[in-house]
Structure 1
């Protein structure tokens, strides 16, 4: 990839020879006025141990879910926003990864010692959605973790880079 150029699905096809299928378009929960419902879960956590928020823990965050019919899907998931590949990961259960890891941020996920990836991805989905852009989930069914790593190191998706 050319430095500073955000990868597209065409780059994935040309450079990795993979054509993922579109699975779902993320639509965060909305309030009665149609705006995206935002929340900061760490505000509800008593934090008796004096834990520090990690780099992405402050939020704000949104909530979203994908349908259970994708539960048995595993492989390499690709998040695309504004036509650009923004994040690539591997999962054994797409519904669990999306709904439990990214779609709902618990207070504990916001603090050091947890996985900042969950907060980063959710927060970025919120940012993109507030700009009225769609975040779409693509899947390379049964794609292996080694291929996932290859895609990340070749295409350099910006949200993956933000975790380094």
Structure 2
């Protein structure tokens, strides 16, 4: 019987269902932090870049974090597991070289992988890990060495439907970044100048997001109008005379706090 993805799948449940599998703990994933203890986040939305935000795929906007895994896994093939708080299965993947997969894929996101033809999974997983840790969760990485990695991965995903996996075929996607409450792929997507802000908020996972004016302009790739700096009404929600408000309302957010020339706070509806 397939486990419901709404339930928390623990380490012991996997062992019970698949008794031949052993899950070796690789490490707790710990993003790099600054001297004050804050996670160092980064993205590639550089205002000096010749690539506009529209040139990035939907997971390439970031933010991302940098982390490391221990040495000793080079050339090892098998199945890896990402757990939240060591008792909630979040993701299952397979690889021919575990160390290379993480070091070159997930541990640090290269700019080229953020572009429209880049590796979306790398960006998606790194951001999900970052968001979970920022939400006061711990992330643990486990590994099962096996040559039968693809077959085992398919069986495990079929059985447990981990919420961070994108299920294939006729199965519904459980990706939290593509569910209706996160990414809404519909005709309400606004285009034009404020489309990149919609894309940014539409893929966000936090209930509240505070952005400075400078951050918003980096996302847009252009300057906000002077009225956005002078008048709170410019940030009104669902105002028919301000169609730019669809950039956040259609993404499932409302403006709840305005500090003119400073920051704007968005809250999930």
Normalised by the length of structure 2, the TM-score is 0.56
Number of residue-to-residue matches in the alignment: 163
1:1-164 pair list within 5 angstroms? 1-17=3-19, 18-43=21-46, 45-47=49-51, 52-82=55-85, 83-142=87-146, 143-160=148-165, 161-162=174-175
Distance 1:42 1:116 in 2: 16
Greater Cα radius of gyration, structure 1 or 2: 2
CA 1:64–1:11 in structure 2 vs 1: closer, same or farther (change >3 Å)? same
- CA offsets per residue over residues 38-72 of structure 1, 9 Å max, x none? 00124375328x86322211110000111222223
Q: Which has the higher contact order (CA 8 A, sep 6+)?
A: 1
> Residue 17 of structure 2 aligns to a residue in which SS?
helix
In structure 2, runs of 5+ residues without a counterpart are: 166-173, 179-269
TM normalised by structure 1 equals 0.89
Please provide the CA RMSD for this pair.
2.1
Kept in 2: contact 1:51–1:111 (CA 8 A): no
Distance 2:75 2:136 in 1: 30
User: Tell me, which stretches of 5 or more residues in structure 1 are unaligned?
Assistant: none
**Contact 1:109–1:119, Cα closer than 8 Å, also in 2:** yes
- Equivalent pair of 2:5/2:160 in contact (CA under 8 Å): no
With over 3 angstroms needed to count, the CA separation of the structure-2 counterparts of 1:13 and 1:151, relative to structure 1, is same
